[in-house]
Amino acid sequence: MELVTVDIGGTHARFAIAGVAADRSITMGEPITLKTSDYASLKTAWEAFESQYGQVLPRRAAIAIAGPVTGETVRMTNNSWVLHTGALDEQLDIDAVSVMNDFAAVAHAVAHAPEDQLLHVTGPKGPLPGKGTISVIGPGTGLGVAQFYRNGGTYHVQATEGGHIDFAAIDALDDALMAKLRSAHRRVSTERINSGPGIVHIYEALAALEKRSIQPLEDREIWQAAFSGKDSLAVAAMDRFCLNLGSVAGDYALAHGACGVVLAGGLGYRMRDILPKSGFGERFRFKGRYEGLMASIPVKLITHPQPGLYGAAAAFASEHGV
């Protein structure tokens, strides 16, 4: 069986054709990425994908959306699209559709991922536990959070909007970040800092700490400078980003009662060689009396290049009994 699998984020919409075999193994064609800002709606982006694909699309679809999927209307969290989920089959001229939160789709991908696609970051080595709750966390345009509980061969995914919990300051630099952001926002959520754009605030706070004059930069410019190693302040901001991500990942593990944590998202994938060597693990464990418990929790990073697309197809297969 073939279907169109779609992963709609705040910045990009990714499309691919997936094949689901009788044993629910999934194969995927080469994805096509479109900028959401270039299209008025999912329908027009769908038409652009069909044009680029060059063939008639399958009449089934799995669609993962960055934002809460509740009710008949979904307003995207980080772009202007509005989706009427109860009418997507009619709007897209398809026979069957599954719609889910984007990080619910990633959680499905993690649940299906073979061990060789889960890179060790910190904690005990070896496979994730076969029973219990796994937290799935991913920094990108926003901060995606989901969890799933598995018991042997079955699992259940729970989407969340955990990226919008309050940011928790730990030290003086966090206090400075809070003061800076509170001057612009009545409430400071954790994704203001623990997401791709958050590195701008970290970079500017570090510059203020050193009383250094800097030119305003976009988050993409800072990340590029950090990965290249050409800007020491950008590298320091990335190091600090890893610390903060470790803190919030540990918070989610405690809140979910998790026996394992998996990092995901485009930015997480780009940081796959950096995170295991960073201060992420130290901050993940830094939970006072629960430091011993935190040290017992394995943290992995999924290395599948398109977990949202892969997981959406897996969710469709599960929902429709393929």
Q: At 123, give phi and psi (nearest 5°).
A: 85, -170
Is residue 11 a known part of a binding site? yes
Q: How distant, in Å, are the alpha carbons of 87, 234, 294 from that of 251? A: 38, 26, 10
Chain centre distance of CA 67: 11
Q: Is 268 annotated as a binding residue?
A: no
The answer to whether the annotation marks 162 as part of a ligand binding site is no
Query: What predicted TM-score, i.e. pTM, was given to this entire model?
Result: 0.89
Q: Is 7 annotated as a binding residue?
A: yes
Domain with CATH 3.30.420.40 in the chain: 2-113+304-319
- Candidates 3.40.367.20, 3.30.565.10, 3.90.550.10, 3.20.20.80; correct CATH number of 162-302? 3.40.367.20
pLDDT for position 192: 95
DSSP codes, 114-168: -GGGEEEEESS-SPPPSEEEEEEEEESSSEEEEEEEEETTEEEEEE--GGGSBP-
On whether 311 is known to bind a ligand per the annotation, the reply is no
Distance CA 315, CA 157 (A): 9
Residue with tokens 């130290």: 282
Contact 280, 154 (CB under 8 A): no
How many residues are recorded in the chain?
322
The neighbouring-strand residues paired with 138 are 144
Cα 132 to Cα 32, 157, 161, 296: the distances in Å are: 35, 12, 21, 14
> Is 222 part of any known ligand binding site?
no
Tens of pLDDT along 56-99? Answer: 999 999 999 877 777 677 766 556 788 887 788 888 999 999 99
- pLDDT score of 91: 85
pLDDT score of 84? 81
Residue limits of CATH 3.40.367.20 in the chain: 162-302
Angle 253-195-117 from CA coordinates, rounded to 5°: 60
Low-confidence stretches of the chain (pLDDT beneath 70): 71, 75-79, 322
pLDDT at 140: 87
- Distance, CA of 45 to CA of 34 (rounded, Å): 7
- For domain 2-113+304-319, the CATH superfamily is ATPase, nucleotide binding domain (3.30.420.40)
Condensed to tens digits (0 to 9), the pLDDT of residues 110-145 reads: 998 989 999 999 999 999 999 999 999 999 888 999
Query: Which pLDDT does position 71 carry in this prediction?
Result: 65
- With H, G, I as helix, E, B as strand and everything else as coil, classify residue 212: coil
